[in-house]
Chains A and B, each alone.
Chain A
Amino acid sequence: MGFNTVLFLAGLQNIPKELYEAATVDGAGRWHRFWDLTLPLLAPTTFFVITTTTIQALQVFEQVFVMTNPIGGPNNSTMTLVLYLYQSGFQSFRQGYASAIAWVLFILIFGVTLLQFQRQRHTSAYQV
């Protein structure tokens, strides 16, 4: 959260003031300056934030682990992938199954990241 704020702060500070002045001279209003200037120039930062946050969120574990007992309870309604991996591997002692979950999770995260990289290539054509 704070880390992402700092990232956005850095991204916003990297946009030159001259561009906003030029846009104002050209008659662009507040909305246009945000939509056509800030957002495209912030795209790399946004991409990085989305990617890292997605990877982190797919591995959500501690919060549920700390809050629920038995883990994932009541009746598995708060089960997540990593939690399920932990339960299979270290409580049911089905290590082969747990390893398989881990690899599937890895491929899932890898796939999502690849997809995001592809989208990124389409959108970030701007150079400051």
Chain B
Amino acid sequence: MMLFPFLFMFFTSLKQSQDTFNFPPRLLPRNQTYISVPGFAEPLKLYLLEDANGIMREFALSRDIVQVGVFRDPTVPRDPNNPNAGEMIDNRPLKDVQPSRNRIIYEGQSVDLYEIPVDGQIVPMVLVREAGANVFFNPEKPQETVLAIARTSKRVEYISFHPENYLEVLQLAEGSKAVLTNVLSMARSLTNTTLVTLLVVLGQLITSVLGGYAFARLRFPGRTTYL
């Protein structure tokens, strides 16, 4: 129990920097799985998504982005503290979603009503805004595609340890990733620390020996009462 922070720190030191701030935090270092698909020059990232039948399976992320609609139920009043609450993204291309015949007055404007499936039920909703969704496709059947936001989707990952951090520390130089510091910060700080340590130890020894000797051997008023 007491060792857990140290354990976590140890595994963090084996993570790549983009892995360290994942939420929720995880103990073991992980990497996203990539897959090589014919027709694509670079390997593609794999994500775990629901297919058309509601089964979770692995999909590859393509470069394409399709506009999808963000809808909300006009019968539910907006929460003034959290005005975006209740909005939902419809995972169909917006051009394929046809408005129904009905129109309503919503927030002072006449708008179209759309029929959006929510948990198996059709709910009439209004279009709030548009958003870009990533196109995912089944690596085995490239024509089978799914739309989702990549940032919030579940990644397919494998556990992998990265000793690069240690190599970087031991090489004493910070690589090209340096943002705030200049090169050789590690060497500089190591030198400074060694210098400080040597000087501090020497100074402490000399002054403490003298002080200790004075208190132990010399006679001064109050010596017997206070020591």
Binding site for B on A (CB under 8 A): 1, 4-9, 11-13, 46, 49-50, 53-54, 56-58, 60, 70, 72, 75-84, 87-88, 91-97, 99-104
A103 engages B10 (CB within 8 Å): yes
* Interchain residue pairs with CB less than 8 A apart (27): A4-B205, A8-B211, A11-B212, A12-B213, A12-B217, A46-B205, A49-B208, A53-B200, A58-B193, A58-B197, A80-B192, A81-B193, A84-B181, A84-B185, A92-B180, A92-B181, A93-B17, A95-B20, A96-B14, A96-B15, A96-B20, A96-B162, A100-B166, A101-B169, A102-B9, A102-B13, A103-B10
Question: Given the complex of chains A and B, what is the CA–CA distance between A92 and B181 in angstroms?
Answer: 9
Residues of A within 8 A of B182 (CB): 75-76
Question: Given the complex of chains A and B, what is the CA–CA distance between A87 and B15 in angstroms?
Answer: 18
> How many residues from B make CB contacts under 8 Å with A?
47
Q: List which B171-223 residues lie within 8 A (CB) of chain A.
A: 174, 177-182, 185-186, 188-190, 192-193, 196-197, 200-201, 204-205, 207-209, 211-213, 215-217
Give the residue of A5, A60, A77, A97 whose beta carbon is less than 8 angstroms from that of B165.
A97
Nearest-CB distance from B214 to chain A (Å)? 9
A99 engages B208 (CB within 8 Å): no
- B145-187 interface code vs A (CB 8 A; 1 in, 0 out): 0000000000000000010011011100010011111100110
B196 engages A57 (CB within 8 Å): yes
A4 engages B208 (CB within 8 Å): yes
Give the residue of B14, B162, B190, B216 whose beta carbon is less than 8 angstroms from that of A13.
B216
Binding site for A on B (CB under 8 A): 9-10, 12-17, 19-21, 162, 165-166, 168-170, 174, 177-182, 185-186, 188-190, 192-193, 196-197, 200-201, 204-205, 207-209, 211-213, 215-217, 227
A76 engages B188 (CB within 8 Å): yes
Nearest-CB distance from B201 to chain A (Å)? 5
Known contacts A97-B165, A100-B169; A4/B204 CB under 8 A: yes
Residues of B within 8 A of A57 (CB): 193, 196-197, 200-201
Chain A, interface SS category: helix
A79 engages B201 (CB within 8 Å): no
Closest B residue to A3 by CB, please name it: B208
Residue in A6, A8, A80, A96 with the greatest tally of chain B CB atoms within 10 Å: A96
Known contacts A5-B208, A101-B169; A80/B21 CB under 8 A: no
Residues of A within 8 A of B180 (CB): 70, 87, 91-92
Known contacts A75-B182, A103-B10, A104-B170; A96/B205 CB under 8 A: no
A1 engages B208 (CB within 8 Å): yes
Nearest-CB distance from B37 to chain A (Å)? 30
B12 engages A95 (CB within 8 Å): yes
Nearest-CB distance from B75 to chain A (Å)? 43
B169 engages A9 (CB within 8 Å): no
Give the residue of A7, A12, A72, A97 whose beta carbon is less than 8 angstroms from that of B168.
A97
Known contacts A54-B197, A57-B196, A96-B16; A79/B185 CB under 8 A: yes
Residue in B15, B186, B200, B204 with the greatest tally of chain A CB atoms within 10 Å: B204
